[in-house]
C-alpha cells in the first residue's frame, strides 16, 4: 500500500451523498479523500482550509455550482469536473474558468482513477466522448494564428492538439512515434514559448485561440 504522504489528497464536491460515496469507493490506495462538500460555498471553504492536490467537482450544485468553485479555486489546486452533462457549452465554460479536466459520470472506475492520477500530475483529462467537442471548437476558431502560436514548430502544434484532447503523454508518444519523455520536453518548450506556467493552461490556450 502506498504511504499516506504519497497519496493524492482529494476533495469531493457533489450535492448527492450517494455519488460522493461511490467515487470515494472507486478511488484506490493512491488517493486520500481529505474532505467532502455538498455545495459550492462549502467546497470553496474546504479547499482553502485543506489545500488538496486535486478537487473532483460536480457541475450542478447549490450555491453557484462547479463553475463558481473553479473560478475561485483553480489558482489554488487542480480541479476536474465530474458531471452528467456532455453539453459543449458546459465543457468550454469549465475549461475557460480553469478546470484541468472534464469527465462524465459514466466513466468507468479504472478510467476514472487513471484520469485523476494524470490530472494530479498536471495533465488535462477529458472523457473520450468529449474529444470531438474540443476539436470542433478548434475548427470553429481556426483562422489567423494567435500571437505566440507562430513560434511553435509543427511537432509542437501536434503535441498541443493531443494534449488538448486529453491524451496522456504515453498515448501521445505512441501516436507520434516518440518517447513520453520527448513529449514532456515538447510540452515544457510550448509552455516557455507561450509564456504559460502550468501544463493544464495549455488546453485553455488551445480552446480560446484555436490550433490547426
What's the grid cell of residue 204?
A: 485553455
- Is pTM beyond 0.75 here? no
Question: Can you tell me the distance from the alpha carbon of 173 to that of 121, in angstroms, rounded to the nearest whole number?
Answer: 17
Q: DSSP H helical segments within 54-153, as ranges?
A: 65-73, 88-97, 109-120, 131-141
Q: Which helix (H) or strand (E) holds 149?
A: none
Q: How many whole angstroms separate alpha carbon 99 and alpha carbon 171?
A: 21
Tell me how far apart the alpha carbons of residues 128 and 135 are, in angstroms, rounded to a whole number. 12
pLDDT in tens, 135-165: 555 445 444 445 455 577 888 888 887 877 7
Cα–Cα distance between 66 and 114 in angstroms, integer? 22
Topology classification of domain 133-209: Arc Repressor Mutant, subunit A (1.10.10)
Residues 84-92, mean pLDDT to the nearest whole number:
83
Which regions of the chain carry the CATH code 3.40.50.2300? Answer: 4-122
Return d(Cα 142, Cα 22) in angstroms, integer. 40
**Looking at domain 4-122, which of 3.90.650.10, 3.40.50.360, 3.40.1280.10, 3.40.50.2300 is its CATH number?**
3.40.50.2300
Cα distance between residue 4 and residue 182, in whole Å:
31
Give the residue range(s) of CATH 1.10.10.10 domains in the chain.
133-209
- Cα 43 to its chain centre, rounded Å, is 18
pLDDT tens, residue by residue, 6-20: 789 999 999 999 999
Amino acid at each position: 500500500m502506498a504511504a499516506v504522504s504519497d497519496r493524492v489528497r482529494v476533495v469531493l464536491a457533489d450535492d448527492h451523498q450517494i455519488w460522493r460515496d461511490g467515487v470515494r469507493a472507486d478511488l484506490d490506495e493512491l488517493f486520500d479523500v481529505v474532505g467532502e462538500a455538498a455545495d459550492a460555498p462549502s467546497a470553496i471553504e474546504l479547499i482553502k482550509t485543506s489545500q488538496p492536490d486535486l478537487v473532483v467537482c460536480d457541475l450542478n450544485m447549490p450555491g453557484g455550482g462547479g463553475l463558481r468553485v473553479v473560478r475561485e479555486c483553480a489558482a489554488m489546486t487542480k480541479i476536474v469536473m465530474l458531471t452528467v452533462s456532455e453539453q459543449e457549452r458546459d465543457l468550454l465554460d469549465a475549461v475557460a474558468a480553469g478546470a484541468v479536466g472534464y469527465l462524465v459520470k459514466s466513466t468507468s472506475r479504472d478510467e476514472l482513477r487513471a484520469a485523476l492520477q494524470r490530472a494530479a500530475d498536471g495533465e488535462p483529462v477529458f472523457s473520450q466522448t468529449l474529444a470531438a467537442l474540443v476539436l470542433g471548437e478548434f475548427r470553429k476558431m481556426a483562422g489567423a494564428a494567435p500571437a505566440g502560436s507562430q513560434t511553435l514548430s509543427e511537432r509542437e502544434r501536434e503535441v498541443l492538439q493531443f494534449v488538448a484532447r486529453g491524451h496522456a503523454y504515453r498515448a501521445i508518444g505512441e501516436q507520434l512515434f516518440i518517447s513520453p519523455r520527448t513529449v514532456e520536453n515538447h510540452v515544457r518548450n510550448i509552455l516557455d514559448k507561450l509564456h504559460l506556467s502550468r501544463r493544464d493552461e495549455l488546453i485553455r490556450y488551445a480552446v480560446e485561440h484555436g490550433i490547426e
